[in-house]
Structure 1
């Protein structure tokens, strides 16, 4: 037994390396979005375009993040995790260079799709690697630690973006993204395969894509996916609207906005570290959804009744705390039900989440801003609550 453990450890990276590397990879897709958030108003000016077109660059990136996972997840179940991860980093380097050479907003939006696809590799494979190596409470603990590292991205990214915008323009931000892509390519080259050949899906690669059918037919798995998707709808509403809400409605500059965004994002780290203290993973998820609904109701009331900026900011921080509880727990509970198809299952989770984000983001730009934000926030949190009740009924969990 000892010899077997030693052989295994020789073939895999250390837990610390996996935490850091997979945390960086899983945060990479969102980092691509968050870093240039402070530059959205400036980007509209640079290309001489509208707010909706600039928000469409967010949407196109999320479409890439969603669709890319459907391709890369099953491919990683067939060919292993390392190869698709390395190829994803190469695609990111190429697509980021293309964004820097964009000649108008339409070409920029187009190249952002491929940036999203590249980012999808890190998102889906990081979850799959965790499911390859861990299970049960250990899997949930790994995901909660992953959320700590993952949560640093939305903290650091907009602050860096806001700082860069003081001295350069959006191109400076994308040069930084290009450099990060090169670093992560180097990290991916040192990653050791976590999925042995005997556990890969045999036959044609199309066999792995065929695994989507039983995955999405698994009602218990999909319940946790819906909970995560609608909860993250609150987050995507915030991402798409916050640059304009804070900079134009509340009259803060880009750097002050980036500080606010970073403070709010730190709430996700706090929430993720609370989850291991609960008696069960489901209890932590339940508390997260309940708390999110209550804080969203208070947040919407502040917006509609023209409350103070500081009260709104406090409620946003609280909302991010509860989202930090929902993300690792819903992912852990879902992947536990589809351990044998971890790559495909991770792809379904990511696809649903980012596709919904692509739908939500432009909707915040139509109609009066406060009304759009309020409607989308309430709709998303109430749908998450509905699917929590369904999940409790299916699993026989107590209220």
Structure 2
């Protein structure tokens, strides 16, 4: 697949949004001292991002069904950059928190509108799937690399430069969207009226095929979130790795996820999207067998776990991208709202599963393995049983 400048800008927008969330993680201890506040308050400045994004996601999604997509992206970038500027110039914790809220509102727009613009630029279903695969792969890659970049900035410069860097990149992206994208015109249909948001949302939430695909998109991300949130404990405490070795090892499954996105595109050249959903289901069966092995036969080395997790991450794009593509492609008139529902379910299901697993902590990886297994069995049921049944019924 050869990317044009619009495709590169859309994929890069996801990286900008994610990088703006956690580039300052390495600066948290010094921000606690600088603002004379508690570590819990600074943690709040991180947690506010997914919370605010979830709250305003439906606003951006609905506006995408009513307004010009290019203008909405420019507005999102402006709010995102303005929030970053507030953070960079803040001298007390409340101003900093306010800046993070504004940044998160804009970031939610970047996440939702970039997907909608993708459908404006590319018309073929397989093109949508290819770009969504890269879109999904950007999340773990940037989440892993952005704090490293922020730490390097802190070695030589002030913590404010982390935000100034994001601000400068935002300005470049604003110019790119302004000059490279044309204004879109929304059809004035009955479904595109401001007063029809609740009926449209109800229609989406009661659409069995759409909701099944949303769940098929969300569950593998939940497994990935379980790994990310527990990897430090597993590798450093349970397997005894030092921080330096851990930082390298935990990146390997993430890199496999990135390479898997390109392999997914190769498979799409020869097969249908429904075929990739089957492949995803069979790969998850293998993953469950690996988890059973880890539970029954505990290992003193981290290598078996790394191989099993890496294999899952490699094939993760097959379910994430294919299910999201099928879900959004099925909605022609309320596409923006469909993107918002998909995004909210992804964050909600993943967060709930990670939170639920944390209650069963017992100083071993077994609770995480069990949570991954239950989630994966549900995913297998969705991909190989429920989705084919609903497809035939349709």
Instruction: Name the structure 1 match of 2:330.
Output: 337
Instruction: Name the structure 2 match of 1:49.
Output: 39
Instruction: Name the structure 2 match of 1:4.
Output: none
Instruction: Name the structure 1 match of 2:179.
Output: 190
Question: Does the 8 Å contact 2:6/2:181 carry over to 1?
Answer: no
With over 3 angstroms needed to count, the CA separation of the structure-2 counterparts of 1:361 and 1:145, relative to structure 1, is closer
Question: Does the 8 Å contact 1:26/1:124 carry over to 2?
Answer: no
**CA distance in 2 between partners of 1:329 and 1:34 (Å):** 28
Instruction: Name the structure 2 match of 1:384.
Output: 379
**CA distance in 1 between partners of 2:232 and 2:38 (Å):** 18
Unaligned runs of 5+ in 1: 1-13
Question: Does the 8 Å contact 1:215/1:221 carry over to 2?
Answer: yes
**CA distance in 2 between partners of 1:383 and 1:194 (Å):** 41
Question: Does the 8 Å contact 1:73/1:343 carry over to 2?
Answer: yes
1:281 paired residue among 270, 273, 278: 273
Instruction: Name the structure 2 match of 1:314.
Output: 307
Instruction: Name the structure 2 match of 1:396.
Output: 392
When the two structures are aligned, how many residues end up with a matched partner?
380
Q: Offset at 1:395? A: 0.9
**CA distance in 1 between partners of 2:295 and 2:101 (Å):** 32
With over 3 angstroms needed to count, the CA separation of the structure-2 counterparts of 1:188 and 1:216, relative to structure 1, is same
**CA distance in 2 between partners of 1:19 and 1:151 (Å):** 19
Q: Offset at 1:120? A: 1.7
Moved more, 318-327 or 163-172: 163-172
Question: Does the 8 Å contact 1:74/1:209 carry over to 2?
Answer: no
Question: Does the 8 Å contact 1:360/1:376 carry over to 2?
Answer: yes
With over 3 angstroms needed to count, the CA separation of the structure-2 counterparts of 1:42 and 1:189, relative to structure 1, is same
Q: Offset at 1:355? A: 2.6
1:339 match: secondary structure = coil
2:255 paired residue among 245, 248, 266: 266
Q: Show the 5 A alignment for 1:125-274.
A: 125-132=113-120, 133-144=122-133, 146-147=135-136, 153-154=142-143, 156-161=145-150, 163-164=152-153, 173-193=162-182, 195-198=184-187, 204-208=193-197, 210-246=199-235, 250-253=240-243, 257-274=246-263
Moved more, 296-305 or 180-189: 296-305
Question: Does the 8 Å contact 1:154/1:261 carry over to 2?
Answer: no
1:20 paired residue among 3, 8, 11: 8
**CA distance in 2 between partners of 1:285 and 1:64 (Å):** 32
**CA distance in 1 between partners of 2:111 and 2:326 (Å):** 17
Question: Does the 8 Å contact 1:228/1:326 carry over to 2?
Answer: yes
Q: Offset at 1:32? A: 3.6
Q: Offset at 1:228? A: 1.0
**CA distance in 2 between partners of 1:293 and 1:44 (Å):** 45
Q: Deviations over 1:115-160 (max 9, x none)?
A: 3332221221122122234133333234345556667534643442
Question: Does the 8 Å contact 1:82/1:192 carry over to 2?
Answer: yes
Instruction: Name the structure 2 match of 1:95.
Output: 83
Q: Deviations over 1:51-73 (max 9, x none)?
A: xx776655432222323321101
Q: Deviations over 1:352-376 (max 9, x none)?
A: 1123344345556553463553343
Q: Deviations over 1:249-295 (max 9, x none)?
A: 54433x65554454332222222222341522122122223323533
Unaligned runs of 5+ in 2: none
Question: Does the 8 Å contact 1:27/1:153 carry over to 2?
Answer: yes
TM value normalised by structure 1: 0.78
Q: Deviations over 1:75-116 (max 9, x none)?
A: 011012112211211222233344453855x98677545433
Q: In angstroms, what is the RMSD of aligned CA positions?
A: 3.7
With over 3 angstroms needed to count, the CA separation of the structure-2 counterparts of 1:251 and 1:108, relative to structure 1, is farther
Q: Deviations over 1:320-379 (max 9, x none)?
A: 212222221111111121122211111111111123344345556553463553343233
Question: Does the 8 Å contact 1:241/1:365 carry over to 2?
Answer: no
Question: Does the 8 Å contact 2:287/2:311 carry over to 1?
Answer: yes
TM value normalised by structure 2: 0.79
Question: Does the 8 Å contact 2:191/2:334 carry over to 1?
Answer: no
Instruction: Name the structure 1 match of 2:344.
Output: 351
Matched, 1:323 2:337: no
2:315 match: secondary structure = helix
2:378 match: secondary structure = helix
**CA distance in 2 between partners of 1:348 and 1:203 (Å):** 17
Question: Does the 8 Å contact 2:71/2:183 carry over to 1?
Answer: no
